C-alpha cells in the first residue's frame, strides 16, 4: 500500500486544561453518554400512588421512564445550572441536597451559599463503590434560573420563559419597539431557520414562526416588540439555554410539563484517561400524559408525544478533542405512544406497547482501520449497538427464545435528535457562543478584521480595490467578482439594507497577512493575581462560511449503519497522517441509504471488493466523536392505517428528521396500508408508525496501538505514551485485569501533535508506529549490518494490536468450559445482502464468510443457556488475545431485561450496585412482576489459563437449591451481554439468553394453603400476589369476607348466581412455576361456539386479558396472567350455565389450541386438585322475588302522585300467597298530619271454607278456597268468587277509569280462560263495577295527594298492619297512569316489560335487588352471589373448608348455596325500572307492622323463562303416555306451567305440567304418529314458550336393550332359512360401550359345520368400529372391519348405526350406515345354526346397547338393497 502524508488539515491544539472561562465552557465538559426508554406501568409501580393505580383510565395513560447517563466524574458538580448532589439517605432521615451556588437566586435551591468553590463536588476517590447510591439532581431551568415569569420591568413588560421554544433557532427575544410604538406592537418575524438554506429575500418562507402557544400570540408571522432590547428571552426559553426533562404535554394553562431528573449513581470510573473518568447513573420517574388536564394517549391522531432531556453542552474541541458537535447542545429525544393494540386486535386482549431499551459503553475506543484490514466485526472500523424491545411478537413466539421479541431498527439520529445547535464560537472557546447563523457570520467578520493585526492593536484591515474582474472575493450571488470602483475591506462586507443580509463577504486564504499571524482576539485570565493573555487561533480554513452540515449537529463523517443489526462501519482511514489508497478487502455497503442496488432494497453498495477508491481517502481527525442513534420499533397504533392522513393539514415533512414523510399508497383514499405502518425499516414513515428512543455516546478514534515483539525484544525500555499507558503495556494486574507480561509500546494509542505539516517531526513524535523504539533494547535478534530492515521485518518487530476474541464452545450448548456459542438456527435473519441462511444445508450456510466477512461477526445472534430452576447458573466466558502482550478484561455491558450489571466484578459480598434487579426495573415484562431478586448475578475474578493468552471469568447466578422449583424467584428468561476488552480494542459482543427450565406446572392463583406451601415466602411472584393482597382484608373478621382484592381464581366447582341486568365478574389468574411467559387462559367448555371453532364466552359476556393489577389493561404476555370474565345477562337468558377454563403455558392464536391435549377432565364432574389446569363453574341466571312474612311491606308511595283522574290508573302484581288467613296484598292511602292512616284502596286475599249441605246438615268440608277483594275507604267492595288456591302464583290487576268504571282481574282476562272441557282448564275472574264520581270524574289517589300538599301518601305492597299481614312472595309490580285494556293486560301478563316501549308506565318493580352485600359479604350491591364448591375434603386436604377460595383460615368463605335469609330486604331500596326513579323502600324493623322478616330470594314466577336442561328418559315410545321428568331451573309453581312437543308434521302438542319443585317438573309424553325427534319446550305462562331453551325427545318404537352384564336373543334354526353360502342379516344397532378391551358379539351365526366342528360367523363391536370374525373349531380369523362408528356416549352423532353383513361363496361385504366394506370371503359352511343377538356365553364379551329392526335374507344384497332396507323400504 502506498502511503503518503495527507495535506495539512489541523492546527496544533493548545491544551488549555485549566481553562475556565464561563458557564458555557464548563457545561460542555461533562456529558458523555445517555439513553432513555419508557414502559406502561403495572401493579409493582406503587411509587406512582394509589390515586393513579386505582383509576384504570389514569393507569392506561401513565408511563415509567428510565433514564441512563454518564458524565465527567470530577466536573464541578453544584456550580452551574441548578445542579445539586447528596449522599444516600440514611435510616430515619433524608439527606439534604447540596450545591455550590448553582441556583443562587433561589433560597429553596441553594443551601451552601453563592458560588462557593469549597462546596463543589469532584467525587474524589475514597473507596471502590463509595459513591454508589449517591444522587445528582439535574434540574429544569435556564441558566441559573427556573423557567418562570419575571417582571414587570419599568415598561410594565413581562418575561415568560415557562415554555421551551419550539424551534431550535428561536431565540425567544422580542424585537425592539421603534418610533415610540407601545409594547406588544406586532413586528414581522426575522429569525431564520438555516436548514432551509435560504438566501437573501427568499428567506421569508424560512422564518421561524411565532407559535400559537406563546404569550401575546397574534399570528405566526409577527412577534410583539419590547421597549428595551435586552437580548434576553422574553416569550420562550431557547434551546441554547434550556435544560431539564420535558414530557411533551402541557397542563391546563398550556405550560409544558417537566421534571427534575434525580440520577442515582451506579458506577464510578476513576481512570483518568480519555475513555474513563466518568460517573454512570440511572433515574426512574413516572408521568401521566394529558392535554389541558385530560388524559390523552398521544398528541393527536398522527403525532406521538415527544419527550426529551437536555442538560448542557457537549465537550469542547480545543481542550477535549470532540471533533464533531463540540460544545453542541445534547438532546435525548424519544416518542411516547400509549396505545393498546388489544383494543383493536381482540384476540390478544390488552397489549400495551413498550419502547425499545438501549445500552452502550459511555466511551467506545475505536482504532483507525483501513480499507485493507478486517476489524473485530468486519471490514473497516466496526462496532455493534445493543438494543432490545420488551414487546413480544405473538406469531414469532417460539418457546422462550428472545427472537420472539419485536424487532428494533437502528438509524443515525437526525440533527434535531442530536440537539441541533452548536456553540460555533469564533474562535473556539471564545465567549459568547454563536448558536445562529447570523451571529456566527458576524463573528467571522470581526475575526477577519483582526486576523492580521498585532496582538492588542486596533484592527487595521486590508483594503482591496475593486477591478470588476474575478478576484479573491467570493460573492453571495456566485459571480465571484468585485464591482469596479468598489473597495472591499478585508473581513468587512457590503450590506443589502433592504433585506438586512450581507451581499459580499471576503473568503480569502489569509495569505495577505505579512507576518503569517492568524490571531483573532485573546483570552484574559486572572492567575495568581496576575492577568495573562493567551492568543486564540483563527484560520480561514477552520472558520468557513456557515454550512449546515458542519455548523449544526451532525454525525461523524463516513459512518454507516445497518438498520437491521445495529452494526456500524466507519471508514476512518489508516492513521491520522496518511491517506488510504488501498483497495477494498470486501464489498463496502451503506445500509443506511435506500436504493435498489444488487437486488437489495435497503442497502447501497458504495464500493465493490477489490476496487480502489478515487480520490484517495483523507484520514479523519483523531479524538472524540459524538454519535447518536435513533432506535425504533413498531408502535402498533391502529390510527396509522384506520384514519385518513391529510398531508396538507398535518404536514409532509417530519419535524424530527427534516425529511419528507412516506405518503399513503395511491388509490387508498388517503389511508396508509397496514403493511406501510408496519414497515419500521422505512426511515421516512410517519412518526405514529413507530416508537423511537435515543442512544447518545462517544467514540474515541485513535491510531491502533503496537508493541514490541516479545520473542525478539527484551521490552525493558519505556516506549511511547498512549491515552492509557506510559510506555509499557501488559503490566496491569488486579482482580479485574490480568496481564501476560510487559511489552514496550512502539506506536499508536495516541496522537499528540496535530499539525502534520510541521517539518522535522518523527513518527515517534507523531505517535505513529516506530519500530526503532524496540531497538533501544539492542536485543531484537537482528544483525542490522547484514539484514535489510524491510516493512515486513518492521511489522515483525513492532506488532500491531489485534482485538480479543471469544473462545467458543466446540458444540453450541455443550458446556466445555468455553464461552456459550450461538447456534446457526438462533441467529436472526435479515432482508439485506448479508443474510444468514435459515437453511443450514444450503451452500451459503457451509461458507463461513459472506463477501469476506464472517457471518457471526455481523449477526452474532444469541447464545442459549438452559438452566434449572432452584439451581445455580454457572458458565465461563473465555477469551483469547493473540498479541504478545495482553491486558485482558471481560466486561458486562448490561442486560436487555430488568437488571443493572455495571459492577459485577467481584466474587465477594455483592454491593448495592450488584443487585440483580432494581425496584423500577423492567422485570415485570419477563415474569418477575418487578420484585427484587434476592440472588445476585456476579462475575468471578478474571483468571488465566496456564501460561496461555486465554482468560476467563465465570458468570454465576446463585440460587437456593433447597427451594422447590416453583419458589425460585429469579426471572426465567433473561439476557446478559459481555465484551472482551484489551484496554485498547473491543471484541465482538456476546449475549447469552438464560432460560430457567422446570416441570412447567401451571397453577391457578388462589389462597389454598397447598400453593402457599410450595411458593417462597419472600420476594416472589406468588407472595406478592397473595400475601400483599391478603393484607388488605380485615384480619380475623367476617367483614368483607367475600371481597377478592387479589383477583384470585375462584375454587373449582364454585357456583355464581346473578339476576338479569346485573353484572357478574370474576378473574381467572394463573402462574407458571417456570415463569416462562406467555400464559394463555381460555374457555374450554360451556361457552358459545364461534365461527372459527373456538369456545367463547356466552352471548353478551366478555373475557379480556388484563395487566395483573387490573390497571392499564395491558399485556397478557406475562407470567402471571390474568383474564377478567364479565357478564351482564339479559332477560331471556335465565338458565344454568357451566363454564370451564384452562390455562396453557405457550400462548398461540386461540383457534389453533387443541383443548383436549391441554387439560384433564372426567364426566360427571370430579373435583379437580389445585395443580391441574381446568376450573369449572356453574353460573345460574335467575330472577328474584320478594319473600315477606308477618308484618313486612314495601312502600312504593313515590309513584302515587302520577295516578290521577286525568287518564285513570292501572295496578298489576304477581303474588304467591302462603298463609291461610285474610291477608292484605296492596294498600293505597295517605296520612294526615297528626292522624292515623287513611285507606283509599285495599286489595285482600280472603279465605272461604267450601262445604256441601244436605237438608241443612253439613255433609262434607271441602276445605278452603280464596277470593280477591277490593275495597275503598268508603267500604266499597267488589270481590271474585272463592275459586282460587294458595301456594301457587296469581296475577291481579285493577283499573280505574276517569269516569269511575272499575275492573278487577285475577289470573288474567277471558282470552286466557280455557274452555271448561279443555284439559288445561283454569279459573279466571273478571269483576266490574263503578266508583263514585264528582263533576263527572272519579277521585283517584294521586288527586287526593296533589290537592292536599300536607298529606303523606303510602302504597304498602304486602302487609298493611299487624293484623292485615301478608305471608308469601311478591313478583312483578307494574303501575300505570292510564287504563290498560283487557287485551293489553292479557298480552303483558306473562311478559317482562321493556320500559322504553311502555306508555304511561310510572313504576316497575322486579325485586332483583338482593345480593350478599346486604349481609356485609363483600359483593357490590345488586350484583351477584357466590356459593362455595362442595367437593369431598380429600380433594384438598390442606383446606379445612374444602372448595373455598379463601381456605387458609377458619373463616367460611361462602355459603354452600342460596338460602332464604341471605339477602335482606328490610330497609333496602327497590329499583324502579320504569326510568322514572320512583324507587320503593322496604320497611325496616322500626316501621314494619310487627316482628317480621323480608328477604330477596332467587326463584321463578310465571313471567320467568324456564330453562329445561335434561330429561329422563330422553327416548320414549311413539304410543305416548310415558311420564318425562324434566330438570333445569326456573320452573314456577304456576297453574299455566306447560310443556310443548313439536310433531313431525309441524304441529305442536301442549301438555299441562306437574310442578315438583323449581328445578323439576313432569310432563306426559303425548305420543307421535311416527318416529320423530321432538323439540321439548317449557313455559311458566301457558302461551309464551322460550325457543332458546329446547331439549330433544326421541319418540321411538321399542328396542331390545342389552345390559352390560350380558343378554341374548336367539333365533333358532336360522340356517333352515338362510345359509352361510348365501345370506344377508342386518339391524339397527346402538352401542353404548367405549371399551376396546374385548370384542362384543352383536350379531352371530353359530352352529356346526359338515365335519362336526363348531363354527361361528360374527359381527362384533370394539368400542369404535364393527369387525367381522369367523371361527372354525379353535381357529379364529379376522375378516375385516367397518369405518369408525363411535358410541353414543362419546358425543359423536346419535349412536345409532345400521349394520348388515351379506355374503355368498365369493364375497363377504359389511354395510355400515349405507357404506360398504369388502371383507375376506368366509370359508365357513354351517349345516345347522342359530342366529344370536348379543351373547351370554362365557369367554365372549357381551354387547352393551340397543338393537332393533333385525332382518335376515336368504340372498346376497348389494349396497342399494341395504340402503333401502335401512330406511324401511
What confidence score (pLDDT) does residue 588 get? Answer: 63
488: confidence class by pLDDT, cuts 50, 70, 90? very low
Nearest to 641 by CA among 659, 680, 666, 668: 668
602: confidence class by pLDDT, cuts 50, 70, 90? very low
- Looking at the chain, the whole-number percentage of residues with pLDDT higher than 70 is 70
Identify the helix (H) or strand (E) that includes residue 992: strand 990-997
pLDDT in tens, 1026-1073: 444 444 433 433 333 334 446 778 777 788 899 999 999 888 887 765
Distance CA 1411, CA 1042 (A): 12
Mean of pLDDT over the chain: 76
Query: Is the pLDDT assigned to residue 356 strictly greater than 60?
Result: yes
Identify the helix (H) or strand (E) that includes residue 891: strand 887-895
Cβ atoms within 10 Å of 1154's Cβ, excluding its own: 8
What confidence score (pLDDT) does residue 1058 get? Answer: 93
With beta carbons less than 8 A apart as the criterion, state whether 410 and 563 touch. Answer: yes
CA 1601, 1603, 1604, 1609 torsion-angle sign: negative
With beta carbons less than 8 A apart as the criterion, state whether 619 and 668 touch. Answer: no
With beta carbons less than 8 A apart as the criterion, state whether 1302 and 1258 touch. Answer: no
- The contacts of residue 1765 (CB under 8 Å, 6+ apart) are 1626, 1700, 1751, 1757
With beta carbons less than 8 A apart as the criterion, state whether 380 and 572 touch. Answer: yes
Answer whether 0.85 is exceeded by the pTM: no
User: Residues 808-835: what's their mean pLDDT?
Assistant: 64
Strands of 185-291, DSSP E: 186-188, 222-224, 242-250, 256-259, 261-268, 278-288, 290-291
For 266-294, letters b (16+ CB in 10 Å) and e give bbbbeeeebbebbbbbbbbbbbbbbbeee
Distance CA 1402, CA 1474 (A): 6
Distance CA 1698, CA 337 (A): 65
Phi, psi of 1371, rounded to the nearest 5 degrees: -105, -135
Residue 842 CA, chain-centre distance (Å), reads 38
Where does residue 604 rank: exposed (0-12), middle (13-18), buried (19+ CB within 10 A)?
middle
pLDDT in tens, 379-390: 678 888 877 777
Distance CA 1762, CA 1295 (A): 69
Nearest to 1159 by CA among 1337, 1357, 1336, 1004: 1004
pLDDT in tens, 1196-1214: 999 999 999 999 999 999 9
Distance CA 450, CA 447 (A): 5
In sequence order, what are the beta bridge partners of 758? Answer: none
For 446-476, letters b (16+ CB in 10 Å) and e give bbbbbbbbeeeeebebbebebeeeebebbbb
Query: Is the pLDDT assigned to residue 795 strictly greater than 50?
Result: yes
Distance CA 839, CA 175 (A): 68
Distance CA 1762, CA 1757 (A): 6
- The contacts of residue 125 (CB under 8 Å, 6+ apart) are 270
Measured CA distances, 61 to 56, 284, 297, 307 (Å): 9, 17, 6, 14
Cis bond leading into 1703, ω under 30°? no
For 331-359, letters b (16+ CB in 10 Å) and e give bbbbbbbbbbbbeeeeebbbbbbbbbbbb
In sequence order, what are the beta bridge partners of 1127? Answer: 1064
Identify the helix (H) or strand (E) that includes residue 865: strand 862-868
Residue, of 1383 and 1544, whose pLDDT is higher: 1383
Q: 648-652, 910-914, 1252-1256 — which is least confidently predicted? A: 910-914
Query: Is the pLDDT assigned to residue 108 strictly greater than 50?
Result: no
Maximum separation of any 2 CA atoms in the chain, in Å: 164
User: Residues 1411-1417: what's their mean pLDDT?
Assistant: 54
In the chain, % helix, strand, coil (3-state, to 5) comes to 10, 35, 55
Distance CA 366, CA 703 (A): 9
Distance CA 888, CA 883 (A): 11
What confidence score (pLDDT) does residue 766 get? Answer: 62
Residue 631 CA, chain-centre distance (Å), reads 20
User: Residues 1651-1661: what's their mean pLDDT?
Assistant: 89
In sequence order, what are the beta bridge partners of 1292? Answer: 1213, 1306
Measured CA distances, 1438 to 1012, 1270, 1442, 1449 (Å): 10, 62, 9, 11
- Looking at the chain, the whole-number percentage of residues with pLDDT higher than 90 is 29
| Sequential DSSP letters for 1068-1093 | EEEEETT--S--EEEEEESSEEPTTS
Strands of 1499-1622, DSSP E: 1507-1512, 1515-1517, 1523-1529, 1538-1542, 1548-1552, 1554-1557, 1560-1564, 1572-1579, 1591-1596, 1600-1602, 1607-1611
DSSP state letter for 301: T
User: Residues 1314-1332: what's their mean pLDDT?
Assistant: 68
In sequence order, what are the beta bridge partners of 1448? Answer: none
User: Residues 871-887: what's their mean pLDDT?
Assistant: 92
- The contacts of residue 1008 (CB under 8 Å, 6+ apart) are 1170, 1436, 1438, 1439, 1447, 1448
User: Residues 706-720: what's their mean pLDDT?
Assistant: 86
Cβ atoms within 10 Å of 260's Cβ, excluding its own: 17
1419: confidence class by pLDDT, cuts 50, 70, 90? very low
In sequence order, what are the beta bridge partners of 1185? Answer: 1497
Q: 413-427, 730-744, 1375-1389 — which is least confidently predicted? A: 730-744
Query: Is the pLDDT assigned to residue 528 strictly greater than 70?
Result: no
And the C-alpha cell for 783?
544483525
Apex CA 637: angle with CA 349 and CA 686, to 5°? 165
Q: Which long-range contacts (CB under 8 A, 24 or more apart) does 1649-1658 make?
A: 1649/1724, 1649/1725, 1649/1726, 1649/1727, 1650/1725, 1650/1727, 1655/1620, 1655/1724, 1655/1725, 1655/1726, 1655/1729, 1656/1724, 1657/1620, 1657/1701, 1657/1722, 1657/1724, 1657/1726
CA 248, 253, 259, 260 torsion-angle sign: positive
1481: confidence class by pLDDT, cuts 50, 70, 90? very high
Distance CA 673, CA 689 (A): 11
What confidence score (pLDDT) does residue 778 get? Answer: 65
User: Residues 1312-1326: what's their mean pLDDT?
Assistant: 56
And the C-alpha cell for 920?
423500577
DSSP H stretches of helix in 1499-1576: none
What confidence score (pLDDT) does residue 649 get? Answer: 76
Amino acid at each position: 500500500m502506498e502511503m503518503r502524508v495527507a495535506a495539512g488539515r489541523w492546527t496544533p491544539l493548545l491544551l488549555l486544561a485549566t481553562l475556565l472561562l464561563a458557564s458555557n465552557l464548563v457545561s460542555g465538559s461533562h456529558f458523555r453518554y445517555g439513553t432513555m426508554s419508557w414502559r406502561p406501568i403495572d401493579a409493582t409501580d406503587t411509587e406512582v400512588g394509589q390515586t393513579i393505580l386505582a383509576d384504570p383510565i389514569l393507569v392506561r395513560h401513565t408511563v415509567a421512564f428510565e433514564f441512563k447517563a454518564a458524565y465527567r466524574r470530577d466536573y464541578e458538580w453544584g456550580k452551574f445550572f441548578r445542579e445539586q448532589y447528596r449522599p444516600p439517605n440514611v435510616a430515619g432521615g433524608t439527606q439534604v441536597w447540596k450545591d455550590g451556588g448553582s441556583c443562587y437566586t433561589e433560597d429553596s435551591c441553594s443551601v451552601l451559599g453563592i458560588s462557593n468553590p469549597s462546596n463543589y463536588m469532584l467525587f474524589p476517590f475514597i473507596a471502590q463503590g463509595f459513591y454508589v447510591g449517591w444522587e445528582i439532581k439535574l434540574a429544569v431551568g435556564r441558566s441559573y434560573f427556573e423557567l418562570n415569569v419575571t417582571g414587570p420591568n419599568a415598561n410594565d413588560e413581562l418575561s415568560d420563559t415557562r415554555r421551551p421554544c419550539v424551534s431550535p433557532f428561536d431565540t425567544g427575544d422580542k424585537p425592539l419597539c421603534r418610533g415610540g410604538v407601545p409594547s406588544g406592537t406586532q413586528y414581522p418575524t426575522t429569525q431564520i431557520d438555516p436548514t432551509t438554506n435560504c438566501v437573501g429575500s427568499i428567506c421569508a418562507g424560512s422564518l421561524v414562526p411565532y407559535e400559537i402557544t406563546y404569550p401575546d400570540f397574534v399570528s405566526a408571522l409577527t412577534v410583539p416588540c419590547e421597549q428595551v432590547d435586552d437580548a434576553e428571552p422574553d416569550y420562550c426559553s431557547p434551546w441554547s439555554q434550556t435544560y431539564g426533562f420535558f414530557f411533551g404535554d402541557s397542563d391546563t394553562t398550556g405550560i409544558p410539563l417537566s421534571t427534575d431528573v434525580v440520577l442515582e449513581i451506579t458506577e464510578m470510573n476513576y481512570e483518568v484517561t480519555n475513555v474513563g473518568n466518568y460517573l454512570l447513573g440511572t433515574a426512574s420517574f413516572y408521568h401521566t400524559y394529558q392535554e389541558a388536564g385530560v388524559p390523552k394517549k398521544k398528541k393527536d391522531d398522527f403525532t406521538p408525544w415527544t419527550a426529551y432531556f437536555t442538560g448542557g453542552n457537549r465537550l469542547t474541541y480545543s481542550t477535549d478533542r470532540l471533533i464533531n458537535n463540540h460544545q453542541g447542545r445534547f438532546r435525548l429525544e424519544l416518542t411516547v405512544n400509549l396505545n393498546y393494540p388489544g383494543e383493536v386486535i381482540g384476540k390478544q386482549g390488552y397489549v400495551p406497547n413498550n419502547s425499545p431499551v438501549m445500552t452502550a459503553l459511555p466511551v467506545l475506543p475505536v482504532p483507525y482501520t483501513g480499507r485493507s484490514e478486517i476489524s473485530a466485526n468486519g471490514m473497516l472500523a466496526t462496532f455493534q449497538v445493543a438494543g432490545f424491545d420488551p414487546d413480544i411478537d405473538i406469531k414469532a413466539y417460539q418457546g422462550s427464545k428472545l427472537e420472539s421479541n419485536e424487532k428494533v431498527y437502528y438509524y443515525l439520529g437526525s440533527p434535531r435528535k442530536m440537539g441541533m445547535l452548536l456553540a460555533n464560537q469564533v474562535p473556539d472557546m471564545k465567549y459568547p457562543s454563536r448558536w445562529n447563523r447570523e451571529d456566527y457570520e458576524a463573528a467571522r467578520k470581526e475575526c477577519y478584521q483582526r486576523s492580521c493585526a498585532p496582538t492588542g492593536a486596533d484592527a487595521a484591515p486590508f483594503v482591496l480595490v475593486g477591478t470588476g474582474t474575478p478576484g479573491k472575493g467570493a460573492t453571495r450571488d456566485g459571480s465571484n467578482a468585485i464591482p469596479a470602483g468598489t473597495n472591499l475591506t478585508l473581513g468587512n462586507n457590503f450590506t443589502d439594507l433592504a433585506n438586512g443580509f450581507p451581499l459580499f463577504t471576503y473568503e480569502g486564504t489569509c495569505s495577505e497577512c505579512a507576518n503569517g499571524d492568524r490571531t483573532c482576539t485573546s483570552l484574559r485570565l486572572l492567575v495568581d493575581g496576575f492577568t495573562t493573555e493567551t492568543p486564540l487561533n483563527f484560520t480561514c480554513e477552520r472558520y468557513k462560511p456557515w454550512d449546515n452540515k458542519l455548523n449544526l449537529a451532525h454525525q461523524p463523517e463516513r459512518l454507516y449503519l445497518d438498520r437491521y443489526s445495529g452494526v456500524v462501519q466507519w471508514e476512518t482511514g489508516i492513521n491520522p497522517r496518511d491517506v488510504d489508497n488501498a483497495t477494498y478487502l470486501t464489498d463496502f455497503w451503506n445500509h443506511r441509504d435506500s436504493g435498489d442496488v444488487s437486488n437489495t432494497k435497503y442497502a447501497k453498495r458504495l464500493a465493490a471488493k477489490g476496487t480502489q477508491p478515487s480520490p484517495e481517502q483523507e484520514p479523519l481527525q483523531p479524538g472524540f466523536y459524538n454519535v447518536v442513534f435513533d432506535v425504533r420499533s413498531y408502535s402498533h397504533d391502529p390510527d396509522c392505517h384506520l384514519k385518513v392522513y391529510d398531508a396538507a393539514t398535518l404536514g409532509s415533512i417530519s419535524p424530527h428528521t427534516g425529511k419528507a414523510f412516506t405518503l399513503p399508497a395511491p388509490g387508498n383514499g388517503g389511508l396508509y396500508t397496514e403493511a406501510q405502518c408496519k414497515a419500521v425499516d422505512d426511515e421516512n414513515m410517519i412518526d405514529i408508525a413507530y416508537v423511537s428512543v435515543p442512544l447518545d455516546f462517544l467514540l474515541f478514534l485513535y491510531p491502533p496501538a503496537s508493541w514490541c515483539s516479545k520473542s525478539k525484544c527484551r521490552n525493558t525500555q519505556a516506549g511511547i505514551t498512549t491515552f492509557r499507558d506510559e510506555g509499557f503495556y501488559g503490566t496491569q494486574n488486579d482482580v479485574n485485569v490480568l496481564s501476560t507480561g510487559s511489552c514496550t509500546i512502539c506506536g499508536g494509542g495516541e496522537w499528540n501533535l496535530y499539525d502534520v505539516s510541521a517539518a522535522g517531526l518523527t513518527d515517534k513524535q507523531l505517535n505513529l508506529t516506530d519500530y526503532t523504539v524496540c531497538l533501544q533494547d539492542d536485543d531484537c535478534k537482528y544483525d542490522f549490518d547484514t539484514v535489510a530492515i524491510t516493512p515486513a521485518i518492521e511489522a515483525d518487530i513492532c506488532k500491531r494490536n489485534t482485538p480479543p476474541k471469544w473462545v467458543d464452545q466446540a458444540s453450541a450448548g455443550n458446556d466445555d468450559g468455553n464461552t456459550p456459542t450461538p447456534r446457526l438456527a438462533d441467529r436472526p435473519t435479515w432482508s439485506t445482502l448479508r443474510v444468514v441462511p435459515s437453511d443450514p444445508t444450503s451452500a451459503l450456510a457451509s461458507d463461513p464468510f459472506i463477501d469476506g466477512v464472517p457471518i457471526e461477526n455481523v449477526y452474532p445472534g444469541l447464545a442459549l443457556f438452559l438452566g434449572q430452576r432452584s439451581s445455580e447458573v454457572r458458565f465461563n466466558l473465555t477469551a483469547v488475545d493473540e498479541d504478545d502482550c495482553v491486558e485482558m478484561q471481560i466486561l458486562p455491558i448490561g442486560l436487555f431485561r430488568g437488571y443493572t450489571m455495571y459492577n459485577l466484578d467481584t466474587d465477594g459480598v455483592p454491593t448495592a450496585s450488584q443487585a440483580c434487579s432494581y425496584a423500577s426495573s423492567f422485570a415485570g415484562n419477563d415474569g418477575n412482576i418487578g420484585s427484587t431478586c434476592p440472588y445476585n448475578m456476579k462475575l468471578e475474578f478474571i483468571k488465566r489459563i496456564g501460561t496461555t493468552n486465554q482468560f476467563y471469568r465465570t458468570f454465576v447466578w446463585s440460587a437456593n437449591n433447597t427451594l422447590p422449583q416453583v419458589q425460585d424467584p429469579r426471572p426465567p428468561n433473561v439476557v446478559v451481554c459481555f465484551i472482551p476488552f484489551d484496554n485498547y480494542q473491543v471484541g465482538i459482543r456476546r449475549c447469552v439468553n438464560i432460560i430457567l427450565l422446570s416441570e412447567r406446572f401451571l397453577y391457578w392463583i388462589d389462597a389454598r394453603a397447598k400453593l402457599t406451601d410450595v411458593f417462597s415466602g419472600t420476594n416472589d411472584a406468588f407472595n406478592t400476589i397473595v400475601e400483599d393482597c391478603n393484607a388488605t382484608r380485615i384480619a380475623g373478621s367476617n367483614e368483607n369476607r367475600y371481597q377478592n382484592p387479589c383477583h384470585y381464581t375462584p375454587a373449582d366447582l364454585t357456583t355464581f348466581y346473578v339476576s338479569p341486568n346485573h353484572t357478574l365478574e370474576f378473574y381467572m389468574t394463573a402462574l407458571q412455576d417456570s415463569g416462562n411467559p406467555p400464559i394463555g387462559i381460555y374457555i374450554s367448555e360451556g361457552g358459545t361456539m364461534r365461527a372459527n371453532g373456538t369456545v367463547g364466552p356466552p352471548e353478551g359476556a366478555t373475557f379480556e386479558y388484563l395487566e395483573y393489577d387490573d390497571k392499564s389493561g395491558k399485556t397478557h404476555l406475562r407470567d402471571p396472567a390474568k383474564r377478567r370474565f364479565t357478564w351482564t345477562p339479559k332477560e331471556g337468558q335465565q338458565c344454568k350455565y357451566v363454564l370451564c377454563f384452562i390455562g396453557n403455558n405457550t400462548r398461540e392464536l386461540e383457534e389453533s389450541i387443541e383443548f383436549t391435549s391441554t387439560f384433564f377432565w372426567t364426566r360427571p364432574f370430579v373435583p379437580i386438585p389445585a395443580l391441574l389446569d381446568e376450573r369449572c363453574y356453574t353460573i345460574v341466571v335467575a330472577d328474584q322475588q320478594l319473600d315477606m312474612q308477618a308484618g313486612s311491606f314495601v312502600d312504593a308511595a313515590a309513584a302515587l302522585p302520577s295516578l290521577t283522574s286525568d287518564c285513570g290508573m292501572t295496578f298489576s302484581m304477581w303474588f304467591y300467597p302462603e298463609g291461610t288467613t285474610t291477608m292484605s296484598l296492596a294498600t293505597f292511602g295517605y296520612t294526615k298530619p297528626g292522624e292515623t292512616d287513611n285507606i283509599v284502596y285495599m286489595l285482600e286475599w280472603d279465605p272461604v271454607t267450601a262445604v256441601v249441605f244436605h237438608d241443612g246438615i253439613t255433609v262434607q268440608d271441602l276445605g278452603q278456597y280464596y277470593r280477591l277483594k277490593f275495597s275503598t275507604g268508603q267500604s266499597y267492595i267488589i270481590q271474585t268468587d272463592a275459586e282460587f288456591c294458595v301456594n301457587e302464583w296469581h296475577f291481579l290487576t285493577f283499573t280505574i277509569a276517569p269516569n269511575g268504571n272499575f275492573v278487577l282481574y285475577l289470573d288474567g282476562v277471558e282470552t286466557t280462560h280455557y274452555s271448561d272441557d279443555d284439559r288445561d282448564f283454569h279459573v279466571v275472574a273478571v269483576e266490574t263495577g263503578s266508583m263514585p264520581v264528582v263533576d263527572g270524574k272519579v277521585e283517584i289517589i294521586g288527586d287526593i295527594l296533589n290537592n292536599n300538599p300536607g298529606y303523606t301518601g303510602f302504597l304498602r305492597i304486602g302487609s298493611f298492619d299487624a293484623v292485615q299481614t301478608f305471608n308469601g312472595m311478591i313478583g312483578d309490580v307494574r303501575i300505570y297512569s292510564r287504563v290498560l285494556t283487557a287485551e293489553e293486560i292479557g298480552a303483558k301478563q306473562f311478559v317482562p316489560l321493556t320500559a322504553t316501549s311502555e306508555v304511561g308506565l310510572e313504576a316497575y318493580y322486579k325485586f332483583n335487588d338482593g345480593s350478599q352485600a346486604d349481609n356485609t359479604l363483600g359483593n357490590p350491591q345488586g350484583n351477584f352471589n357466590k356459593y362455595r364448591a362442595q367437593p369431598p375434603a380429600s380433594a384438598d386436604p390442606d383446606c379445612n373448608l374444602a372448595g373455598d377460595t379463601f381456605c387458609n383460615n377458619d373463616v367460611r368463605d361462602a355459603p354452600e348455596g342460596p338460602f332464604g335469609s341471605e339477602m335482606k330486604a328490610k330497609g333496602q331500596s327497590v329499583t324502579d325500572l320504569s326510568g322514572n326513579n320512583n324507587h320503593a323502600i322496604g320497611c325496616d324493623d322500626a316501621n314494619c307492622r310487627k316482628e317480621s322478616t323480608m328477604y330477596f330470594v332467587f326463584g321463578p314466577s310465571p313471567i320467568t323463562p324456564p330453562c329445561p336442561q335434561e330429561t329422563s328418559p330422553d327416548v320414549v315410545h311413539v304410543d305416548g303416555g310415558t311420564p318425562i321428568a324434566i330438570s333445569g331451573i326456573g320452573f314456577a309453581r304456576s297453574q299455566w306451567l306447560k310443556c310443548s312437543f313439536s310433531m313431525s308434521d309441524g304441529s305442536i302438542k301442549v301438555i299441562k305440567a306437574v310442578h315438583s319443585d323449581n328445578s323439576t317438573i313432569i310432563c306426559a309424553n303425548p305420543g307421535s304418529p311416527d318416529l320423530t325427534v321432538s323439540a321439548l319446550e317449557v313455559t311458566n305462562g301457558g302461551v309464551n314458550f322460550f325457543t332458546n331453551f329446547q331439549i330433544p325427545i326421541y319418540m321411538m318404537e321399542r328396542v331390545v336393550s342389552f345390559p352390560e352384564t350380558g343378554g341374548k336373543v336367539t333365533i333358532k334354526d336360522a340356517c333352515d332359512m338362510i345359509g352361510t353360502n348365501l345370506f344377508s342379516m342386518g339391524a339397527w344397532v346402538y352401542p353404548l360401550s367405549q371399551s376396546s378391551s374385548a370384542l362384543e358379539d352383536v350379531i352371530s351365526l353359530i352352529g356346526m359345520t359338515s365335519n362336526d366342528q363348531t363354527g361361528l360367523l360374527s359381527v362384533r363391536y370394539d368400542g369404535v368400529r364393527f369387525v367381522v370374525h369367523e371361527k372354525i373349531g379353535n381357529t379364529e380369523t379376522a375378516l375385516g372391519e367397518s369405518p369408525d362408528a363411535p358410541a353414543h356416549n362419546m358425543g359423536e352423532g346419535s349412536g345409532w348405526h345400521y349394520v348388515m353383513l351379506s355374503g355368498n361363496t365369493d364375497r363377504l361385504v359389511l354395510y355400515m350406515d349405507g357404506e360398504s366394506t369388502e371383507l375376506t370371503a368366509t370359508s365357513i359352511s354351517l349345516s345347522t345354526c342359530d342366529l344370536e343377538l348379543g351373547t351370554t356365553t362365557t369367554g365372549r364379551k357381551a354387547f352393551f346397547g340397543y338393537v332393533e329392526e333385525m332382518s335376515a335374507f336368504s340372498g346376497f344384497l348389494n349396497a342399494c338393497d341395504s340402503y333401502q332396507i335401512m330406511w324401511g323400504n
